[in-house]
Amino acid sequence: MVRNGIDNLEPYAHLLKGKRLGLITSPTGLTHDFVSTIEILHERFHLAAMFSPEHGVRGDQDAGGLVDAYVDPITGVPVYSLYRKDSKRLTPEMLDQVDMVVYDIQDVGTRYYTFIYTMLYALEDCAKAGKPFVVLDRVDPLDGVTVEGNVLKPGYLSFVGNYPLAVRYGLTAGEVAAMANGEMGWNAELHVVRCAGWERGMLFPDTGRTWVHPSMGIPRFETALLYPGTCLFEGTNLSEGRGTTFPFEMIGAPYIEPEKLADAMNRRQLPGVRFRPVYFKPTASKHQGERCGGVQLYVTDVRELKPLETGVTLLDTIRRMFPEFAFLPPIKEGSRPFIDLLCGDRLYRDEAFDLPAALEQFRQESRAFEERKRSYHLY
């Protein structure tokens, strides 16, 4: 079995001893035998504070739900929010309570997923404050080799894309931290507690580990694998499957004709995926309580699947087939439409969008990112 950083803590224990530790974690912060990182740091070291990302340190907050400061009822340790309305940063007051910040959250290897920016914000804040930062590394479930999609462009920074990564970037959280620390010149005192037994070509099922969903929207490995492509529908008037038992695996809207769409997508013979016509009624989020038609995506070959290209092709097909399709307006006045923030560009909204040209551009940017990231590989 592959071991994550928390499973390999002993050789690094000297870094933590005698320090007031601040921990950024979530329910995925677990050893291979399901002991929480919170419990380990609280019992073995001095856990002085916890810092809560989106969804909360114990996973009790909804997606997008703001988290307030509170005292953890199990450990008695104060918990401070890194998902506030006015900021997602560590404040000087928070950092005054700790000597070192430790990060342990399972990433999903996709640029839109917000935990990675919680980590990078905290790394930068620690660099400015002169506080050491420790990443308890975890495997990239989408492997450490495959890169897909375009790289985030300047001017499109947001909490779903705050660093110039490819959409599927093929790096562990520790490697992303090392890359940003080097490229941004933060010069933080960064320590990465490495995984053991992980090889870059491994997808999550190859690791022998049990999948623990990193958020309610990513219940299965197959969901995480499709997410680089299907998350794009969050920027449209289609349901991305939230409020169903298959988020990011079912896509639809009241105006979609399922059989027509499934047939059009299957005729494309995209590698590693098949499309089934479905009807569903979301219990939450977009089109709550409405009957939607759409497709369910089935992964038939985890290594052949190109999730970003699949998602972009599905989006382009729907846009051409159904005139009711629309991109959502900006969340607030003066901001960019959410699809632009997901894309890291305004490319998808271009009326002259050319699918083959866009996919070739993405492949070129992916190849350049592959070269750029290589010097930060730890495995």
pLDDT in tens, the chain (379 residues): 999 999 999 999 999 999 999 999 999 999 999 999 999 999 999 999 999 998 789 987 666 666 778 899 999 999 999 988 889 999 999 999 999 999 999 999 999 999 999 999 999 999 999 999 999 999 999 999 999 999 999 999 999 999 999 999 999 999 999 999 999 999 999 999 999 999 999 999 999 999 999 999 999 999 999 999 999 999 999 999 999 999 999 999 999 999 999 999 999 999 999 999 999 999 999 999 999 999 999 999 999 999 999 999 999 999 999 999 999 999 888 899 999 999 999 999 999 999 999 999 999 999 999 999 999 999 9
Question: Does one domain contain both 141 and 63?
Answer: yes
Pairing verdict, β 70-71 and 78-81: antiparallel
Question: Does one domain contain both 254 and 174?
Answer: no
CATH number at residue 255: 3.90.1150.140
Question: Does one domain contain both 96 and 208?
Answer: yes
Contact 378, 173 (CB under 8 A): no
* 85/82 Cα distance (integer angstroms): 9
Question: Does one domain contain both 56 and 188?
Answer: yes
Question: Does one domain contain both 232 and 328?
Answer: yes
Work out how many domains the chain is built from and give that number: 2
Question: Does one domain contain both 161 and 23?
Answer: yes
Residue 350 lies in a domain: no
Distances in Å between the Cα of 361 and the Cα atoms of 44, 109, 357, 358 are 50, 21, 6, 5
Closest by Cα among 353, 356, 324 to 340: 353
Total-model pTM: 0.96
Residue 123 lies in a domain: yes
Residue 362 lies in a domain: no
Residue 365 lies in a domain: no
At 298, list the tokens: 């089935």
Question: Does one domain contain both 184 and 133?
Answer: yes
SS3 103: strand
Residue 361 lies in a domain: no
**pLDDT given for residue 68 in this prediction:** 75
Distances in Å between the Cα of 79 and the Cα atoms of 31, 94, 172 are 21, 10, 26
- Angle of helix 307-321 relative to helix 221-230, nearest 10 degrees? 50
**pLDDT given for residue 63 in this prediction:** 61
Question: Does one domain contain both 281 and 148?
Answer: no
Question: Does one domain contain both 30 and 171?
Answer: yes
Q: Which domain holds residue 126?
A: 5-212+372-376
Question: Does one domain contain both 274 and 307?
Answer: yes
Residue 128 lies in a domain: yes
Residue 229 lies in a domain: yes
**pLDDT given for residue 54 in this prediction:** 83
**pLDDT given for residue 34 in this prediction:** 98
Question: Does one domain contain both 247 and 328?
Answer: yes
Question: Does one domain contain both 142 and 235?
Answer: no
Residue 364 lies in a domain: no
Contact 161, 120 (CB under 8 A): no
CATH number at residue 94: 3.40.50.12170
**What one-character-per-residue DSSP string does 15-56 give?**
HHTTSEEEEEE-TT-B-TTS-BHHHHHHHHSEEEEEEE-TT-
